[in-house]
Amino acid sequence: MSDLLSSLLQDARVWQGHKHRKTTQPAEPTGYQVLDNQLGGLGWPRGALSECLLDALGIGELHLVLPLMQRLSEQGKTVFWLNPPHTPYAPALAREGVNLDHLVVISTDNQGDFLWTLENCLRSPVTGLVLAWPGKLASRDIRRLQLASEAGCNVCVLFRSRRQADQNSPAALRLELVPGDHQDLKVNIIKRRGSWPGQRCSLALGHRADITTQDSSRVVQGPWPRSQG
């Protein structure tokens, strides 16, 4: 029994209020060193859910995941967008270095289809990243998605309302996003593996290209030339 307890205490997923332990769980760097420093030198966890909680769209949340999209798409991994609120603007994504051959956008008609699609994207061996806008989720649905994410060992980022911040969630990482001044994005860490919450940082996003559009008629049809740098 003592050996079992000792083994559990060595697991970074078991939170101990008086101390923290560096997690050895797999992760992908965010592309923002100041944020990675606040995340224990890691980044987006693989094989687990991450949640970005925000009040309004277009505050820089997509630019937060843009370095990850660039890196994984260039590695030949598929990046899924599931039920995005606006149409991804392909030419701008291409200019930002995202390989469009590995980007897939999916829209579903109801919550049942959404959960089934998201679960299968997470379990697919071709998946590198899933970005999803789920609306309301029951706790049992989040647990279901967490199991699928563990099976696929990829990165999943759910964009949810800040009103869900008080909901119990098995997500390994929960970030509260708030717009700052001069196109900065303030990131408050409300949950992360292996340590206590409460860390904060501000990301200087600089000039942000418009990589989505509300008007689908403005979307230019490909193919698009590859970025030259």
What is the DSSP code string of 129-151?
A: EEEE---S--HHHHHHHHHHHHH
Residue predicted with more confidence, 15 or 31: 31
Residue 220 pLDDT class (50, 70, 90 cuts): very low
pLDDT single digits (tens) 158-216: 999 999 888 888 899 999 999 988 778 999 999 987 666 678 899 988 666 678 876 54
What pLDDT is stored for residue 147 in this prediction?
93
Both structure tokens of 174: 């929960």
What pLDDT is stored for residue 213 in this prediction?
72
User: Which residue bears the tokens 């600089």?
Assistant: 206
What pLDDT is stored for residue 18 in this prediction?
44
Q: What percent of the chain has a predicted confidence (pLDDT) above 90?
A: 60
pLDDT single digits (tens) 19-55: 444 556 789 999 999 999 999 888 999 999 999 999 9
What is the DSSP track for the chain? -HHHHHHHHT-TTS-BTTB-----S-EE--S-HHHHHHTTT--EESSEEEEEEESSS-SSHHHHHHHHHHHHHHTT-EEEEES-SSEE-HHHHHHTT--GGGEEEE--SSHHHHHHHHHHHHH-TTEEEEEE---S--HHHHHHHHHHHHHHT-EEEEEEEGGGGGS----SEEEEEEE-STTEEEEEEEE-TTS-S--EEEEE--S----EES-GGGPPPS--PPP--
Per DSSP bridges, beta strands 173-179 and 48-54 are: parallel
Assess whether pLDDT exceeds 90 at residue 12. no
What CA–CA distance (Å, rounded) separates 77 from 220?
A: 24
What pLDDT is stored for residue 219 in this prediction?
46
Assess whether pLDDT exceeds 50 at residue 227. no
pLDDT single digits (tens) 62-95: 999 999 999 999 999 999 999 999 989 999 999 9
Region 146-150 average pLDDT: 93
What pLDDT is stored for residue 138 in this prediction?
87
What pLDDT is stored for residue 98 in this prediction?
96
Structural domains of the chain, with CATH: 25-215 (3.40.50.300)
Q: How many residues in the chain?
A: 229
Q: Between the ranges 16-20, 39-43, 122-126, where is the mean pLDDT highest?
A: 122-126
What CA–CA distance (Å, rounded) separates 198 from 214?
A: 34
What pLDDT is stored for residue 136 in this prediction?
85
Assess whether pLDDT exceeds 70 at residue 60. yes
pTM of the model: 0.82
